[in-house]
Chain A
């Protein structure tokens, strides 16, 4: 019951969807559309799991006054305010929900991302060493592209743009394609193993 039914569901679901790809007929298309809707709805329900875990984690901290419990209060307050405001007044336009988003959530997230500019500078300085031949290749190609892709590069040495384009068009494209082919085969074989019930780690270590 606990293992056989999930395995049967994956087998049937997977095989039907593979076959469906080759059948243009209306019935096949309807099955396909229906499944897509169902996937979306199930994904919606999992939201409660995530939020539940988050709330439990932080109320736990609060209850036991663990280190940094005050911040847990901030998280829970943010969660409560954002969801209540959104569920009552809706999301669109000039509603408070969007205002909080634009003036609080958005700036924090965008700034977080821009910290990367600083980190990349420190990584470039500290870790980017010509230790070996391959490391040197990586370094040189990075420098050429960094200079070649900004307008000032052409001012310094005009062919650098062509070299940087060439690096992106050929070696780079080639590497990406080869990695993509390998990853693609890996994806397909894993998907096959899931459908065939060989890969069961999603059942959580059930052997």
Chain B
């Protein structure tokens, strides 16, 4: 077997082992390379930062366990920012029912850190299927979509919800999402009711939403673990995302290396065949 054939036929299990190592080793021996903050992350941070204590933010944690690795650090960072500034938060989770568990985990973690009380400082409304319908219904009145909160308390009995009727009473809505639900938020909540919308998405989806940044339909955008790490830097509370960035670096370099090896093999092979052909 010639060298280029070998280069083109590395067993995928070998690649798998290398990828695993590229993530595990940096976690054990972190380099902690600095993180640079991008403008779309900064815009969202600044928007929330300018809010006053007592203002209300609608945070929709529209992801589920499958995208939790990227989305959970964003959710926790934004909750930390709000709680530390005395901003009140209404939390929903509209993408998939499985998202309820992860949303509750993030919410209770941040609430405990800042000693925030359910019903006074935050409300967890929970999940309802048919996100578009729910988003529109909340534009009319939160009570329409959610007569009760996730824990079964009637909205009327929740002190924080007094005087809060619909999107007019919130300053910004931030959706952290692992699915295409942002379009629905932008089209219905932003489009129909004119609420400023900010978003955090998995890296894969981020490119899809630059169009909304450019057209002003999104205030800001966090993309993937890097976006989360940037936000952690802005709120000066480095955590899981920041730690994961080293593994991210290594794995990216390794994948680029794979592409290069594969292509060198491909071109050498093509040339060799070409010569034989003549």
Touch between A and B in complex, CB under 8 Å? Answer: yes
Chain B CB within 8 A of A137 CB? no
Taking a contact as CB atoms under 8 Å apart, the answer to whether B256 and A101 are in contact is: no
Q: Which of A29, A120, A126, A129 contacts B255 (CB 8 A)?
A: A120
- Docked pose: A124 CA to B251 CA in angstroms: 12
A171 to chain B, nearest CB (A): 10
Q: Which chain A residues border B266 with CB–CB below 8 Å?
A: 129-130
Given A98-B101, A106-B102, A118-B16: A33 and B137 interface contact (C-beta under 8 Å) = yes
Q: How many residues of B contact A (CB 8 A)?
A: 62
Given A117-B19, A151-B249: A125 and B64 interface contact (C-beta under 8 Å) = no
Most buried by B among A37, A43, A147, A173: A173
Taking a contact as CB atoms under 8 Å apart, the answer to whether B10 and A177 are in contact is: no
Taking a contact as CB atoms under 8 Å apart, the answer to whether A124 and B33 are in contact is: no
Taking a contact as CB atoms under 8 Å apart, the answer to whether A118 and B34 are in contact is: no
Given A109-B65, A121-B258, A143-B259: A36 and B207 interface contact (C-beta under 8 Å) = no
Residues 148-189 (chain B) with a chain A CB within 8 angstroms: 150-152
Taking a contact as CB atoms under 8 Å apart, the answer to whether A143 and B69 are in contact is: no
Taking a contact as CB atoms under 8 Å apart, the answer to whether B100 and A91 are in contact is: yes
Chain A CB within 8 A of B84 CB? no
- Docked pose: A43 CA to B261 CA in angstroms: 50
Taking a contact as CB atoms under 8 Å apart, the answer to whether A176 and B16 are in contact is: no
Contact with B along A136-165 (1 / 0, CB 8 A): 000100110011011110110000010001
Q: Which of A107, A114, A118, A129 contacts B262 (CB 8 A)?
A: A129
Q: Which chain B residues border A101 with CB–CB below 8 Å?
A: 98, 101
Most buried by A among B20, B255, B256: B255
Chain A CB within 8 A of B226 CB? yes
- Docked pose: A139 CA to B209 CA in angstroms: 21
Main secondary structure of the interface of A (DSSP, over half): helix
Taking a contact as CB atoms under 8 Å apart, the answer to whether B256 and A169 are in contact is: no
Chain B CB within 8 A of A128 CB? yes
Taking a contact as CB atoms under 8 Å apart, the answer to whether B259 and A110 are in contact is: no
Q: Which chain A residues border B134 with CB–CB below 8 Å?
A: 40
Given A122-B15, A143-B259: A109 and B214 interface contact (C-beta under 8 Å) = no
Taking a contact as CB atoms under 8 Å apart, the answer to whether A33 and B144 are in contact is: yes
Main secondary structure of the interface of B (DSSP, over half): helix
- Stretch in contact with the other chain, from B47-55, B85-93, B109-117, B125-133: B125-133
Chain B CB within 8 A of A172 CB? yes
Taking a contact as CB atoms under 8 Å apart, the answer to whether A105 and B65 are in contact is: yes
Residues 90-140 (chain A) with a chain B CB within 8 angstroms: 91-93, 98, 101-102, 105-107, 109-110, 112-114, 117-118, 120-122, 124-126, 128-130, 139
Contact with A along B239-267 (1 / 0, CB 8 A): 00000010011011111101101110011
Contact with A along B14-47 (1 / 0, CB 8 A): 0110111001000000000111101000000000
- Docked pose: A114 CA to B244 CA in angstroms: 14
- Docked pose: A151 CA to B137 CA in angstroms: 42
Taking a contact as CB atoms under 8 Å apart, the answer to whether A150 and B263 are in contact is: no
A-B contact pairs, 22 of them (CB 8 A): A29-B140, A37-B137, A105-B65, A106-B68, A106-B98, A106-B101, A109-B64, A109-B66, A112-B66, A113-B67, A121-B19, A122-B12, A122-B16, A124-B258, A124-B259, A124-B262, A125-B15, A147-B256, A151-B34, A152-B252, A172-B207, A173-B210
Which positions in A face B, CB cutoff 8 Å?
Answer: 29, 32-33, 36-37, 39-40, 43-44, 91-93, 98, 101-102, 105-107, 109-110, 112-114, 117-118, 120-122, 124-126, 128-130, 139, 142-143, 146-147, 149-152, 154-155, 161, 165, 168-169, 172-173, 176-177, 180
Which positions in B face A, CB cutoff 8 Å?
Answer: 10, 12, 15-16, 18-20, 23, 33-36, 38, 64-69, 98, 100-102, 104-105, 128-130, 133-134, 136-137, 140, 144, 150-152, 203, 206-208, 210-211, 214, 223, 226, 245, 248-249, 251-256, 258-259, 261-263, 266-267
4 residue pairs, one from A and one from B, having the closest CB atoms: A125-B258, A106-B65, A113-B66, A36-B133
